[in-house]
Structure 1
Amino acid sequence: MSQDQTLSGEEISALMSEARDGGPGGESASAGPARAFSLGGDAGRTMAAIPALDRLGERMVKRLRDVIEPFARAKPRVETLPAEVRAFGDWRAEQSEFVSLSLYSFRPLKGAILLRIEPEFVSRLVDAFYGGNGTAPSRRAREFTPTEESLLGRLAEAVIGALAEVWQEIVPVRPQLKGRETNVGFADLAGADEAVAITRFEVAPWTGPGSGIEILYPVAALRAVEPELAARSHDEAGARSGDWRQRLGAAVGEVRIEARTVLARPELSLSELMQLREGDVIPVSLTKLVPLIVAGRRVALGSVGERDGKAALKIEKMESRRFGQ
């Protein structure tokens, strides 16, 4: 057993029970029927790579739009759901008798990954591709037509190709088709008790509810690249935080605020103000330095001059209490 692999509570209980019973060949009055147990399995470990799978799913959304649009003849709406980890047997029990399953090797991941596409979605894509409006079939078929088989092969290759491009950011992968099935009982991805990570996409090129596309990874296969997945997830979190701060700072820096200066403050009586006429002269005394005022706060002192034919203010002294502090 490798040093970085820990035993779950259930595994420890199994070992302690075996010790109390006197070993594998021992007997106990309360012993029940023996059951199989996989020591050193993944039951007690969490998947630190799940956040990275969610990031990959988010990146796949745009690529799936580009992949499906030529088939659907319409811009599809694509959404990704959070990745989840389940027993493969539980997932398999929920599948219908007829479904599109494509098994791909995905080196350097061990084993394979599974692409699931709903048959009705394939039929609707064929209808739209050949000039229809993506109408759902009137009855549920038990097998694909040759036309559907052809389109399905092209669609699956395009989806897996897009997935491989997304994975290049984590680790270079080489997908290769191992086989296609329509019966989930022949989908040899993992044992019934083994955990799989599932990424699901809801695709809706037309009005109405969307169709599901799922990608399944055996958790045991992801373990081999989990450090890269986890590191990438952490890097992206930090990059997004830094990028957010940078964009916020840039946006704030573009905010326009009013700055003004006061050359003089002459005083007039109310009667003098009422008697003002065009051509009257009001005497003022200019100080050597005039203030620069922003939002009612003096931020600097400067001298009035001229530059490029325009009146200008030369900053001579900054106030000790800067604006915004």
Structure 2
Amino acid sequence: MVSSRKLSSDEVEALIDGLQDQPATSNSSATAVAEENVRPFDFGSDDLSLLGDYYALRMLNERFARAARSVFLPMLRIQPRISSFPPEVKTFDEYTSGIESFMSLTTNRVEELRGNLLIVIDPNFVSLLTNSYYGGSITKVESAKTEFTSTEERVIEIISNGLSRGLEVCWRDLMPITLNVHSRETNPQFASFVDSSDLVIICSFVVQLPNVDAATFDVIYPLQTLKPIASMLRSRVQTETEENISWRDRLELAVLQVPLKVTARLCQPTVSVKKLIHLQEGDVFPIQVGDGVEVRVEDAPIFLGEMGEMGGNSAINLKERVKT
């Protein structure tokens, strides 16, 4: 039989106190366990590990260093030795604090990545290139400048355009890109590139010249521009087959575009010196066309054909290949 005894007021208060204490203890223990597995995350922060060690970018820079030699060769009249440094990551403010306030800054728009890249050239190197380009010697030039001359601006345009075309060629094995000049500046503070706190990837190149100190130039990518292709940049797998096919395709295309001179020889008459001396305007040479017209490519006989007309123009109908 169930007891009908009621709880006293002290017993009810003790029961309520016990029920209130139990959830608090369980919640605190659950919170303590959860805090051990929780770490803060800042949305929108840049994860530098996203691009790995920039393996593909380092390989691209090595190819670009070789390609850039042909850009400086007409200026220097010698083949410079150009080497690339491993890419560095800094904020744009940190980078600009380490360079002069007067530099050659060319911003290019990368259409495929919907971003920009910046080509930075030291003004003393620009002066050296200008002096050498117009017949002077390759000597060290140091001067406190605040602006470029019109001649130096033209040299900057030639160099930056050449480097941009070289970058397009080197990027082609990774992905095709198109670079268009967006702006040119001389003060890093006025370059409409990225915000000062944004992270950038700095690719530096050193140009070694005889009897003078080495010169440098930089190619800078915003980290946000390269993030969409992060998986490609950190990949270490290089498919040699694809590279070889690409190289063969480019070689074949280059060979097929070589211009060749094609001539058609109707006959080859023989004339004496006496008759040649007395030739006058209006004289006629009788000729005899043999089995056909000989079609020659670069003075080598290739085809036999016959003369005719097509569309109101003289034409040759190829009949057979010359056997050699």
Task: Note whether the superposition's TM-score is higher than 0.5.
Answer: yes
Matched, 1:83 2:87: yes
- For 1:234, what is the secondary structure of its paired residue? coil
| Correspondent of 1:130 among 113, 127, 134 | 134
The residue aligned with 2:75 is 71
SS of the equivalent of 1:124 reads: helix
d(CA) in 2 for partners of 1:144, 1:153: 12
- 2:201 and 2:223 in contact (8 A); partners too: yes
Residues 34-83 of structure 1: CA distance to partner in whole angstroms, max 9, x if unpaired? xxxx6232146442261111100110121111111111111111111111
Superposition deviation, residue 191 in structure 1: 1.9
One-letter amino acid of the counterpart of residue 194, structure 2: A
Identity across the alignment (%) = 27
User: Partners of 2:172 and 2:46 in 1: how far apart?
Assistant: 26
Answering whether residue 224 of structure 2 is matched by residue 220 of structure 1, we say yes
- Which position in structure 2 is the counterpart of 1:94? 98
1:175-198 Cα distance to aligned partner (Å, 9 max, x none):
000000000001222222221111
Distance in 2, Cα, partners of 1:68 & 1:44: 34
Partner residue of 1:157 out of 161, 172, 178: 161
Q: Could you say which residue in structure 1 is the equivalent of 2:177?
A: 173
Task: Give the aligned residue type for 2:155.
Answer: L
C-alpha distance in structure 1 between counterparts of 2:49 and 2:141, whole Å: 44
Structure 1 position 209 matched with structure 2 position 197: no
Larger Rg: 2
- SS class of match (1:104): strand
When residues 138 and 102 of structure 1 are mapped into structure 2, their CA distance, relative to the original with a 3 A threshold, is: closer
RMSD: 2.3
Give, as a single letter, the amino acid of the residue that structure 1 aligns with 2:168.
A
CA distance in 2, matches of 1:186, 1:234: 40
Distance 1:53 1:138, change over 3 A: closer
Distance 1:159 1:236 in 2: 26
The residue type equivalent to 2:223 in the other structure is V
In the alignment, which residue of structure 1 is the partner of 2:54? Answer: 50
Which residue is equivalent to 2:233?
229
Structure number with the higher helix fraction is: 2
Cα distance in 2 between the residues matched to 1:12 and 1:40: 16
Distance in 2 between residues matched to 1:184 and 1:84, nearest whole Å: 18
CA deviations on 1:199-227 (whole Å, 9 max, x unpaired) are: 11001233232111100001111011222
TM-score normalised according to structure 1 size: 0.59
Q: Give the aligned partner of residue 252 of structure 1.
A: none
Structure 1 stretches lacking a partner, 5+ long? 1-10, 16-37, 241-325
Contact 1:171 1:228 in 2 (8 A): no
Q: TM-score, normalised by structure 2?
A: 0.59
Residues of 1 paired with 2:237 and 2:213: CA distance? 35
Q: How far is the alpha carbon of 1:12 from its aligned partner?
A: 4.5
Deviates more, 1:152-161 or 1:45-54: 45-54
Per-residue Cα deviation, 1:70-128 (whole angstroms, up to 9, x for no partner): 11111111111111111111101112111000000012112200000011001001111
In the alignment, what sits opposite 1:5? none
1:246-277 deviations in whole A, cap 9, x for unaligned?
xxxxxxxxxxxxxxxxxxxxxxxxxxxxxxxx
Alignment partners' CA distance in 2, 1:62 and 1:44: 28
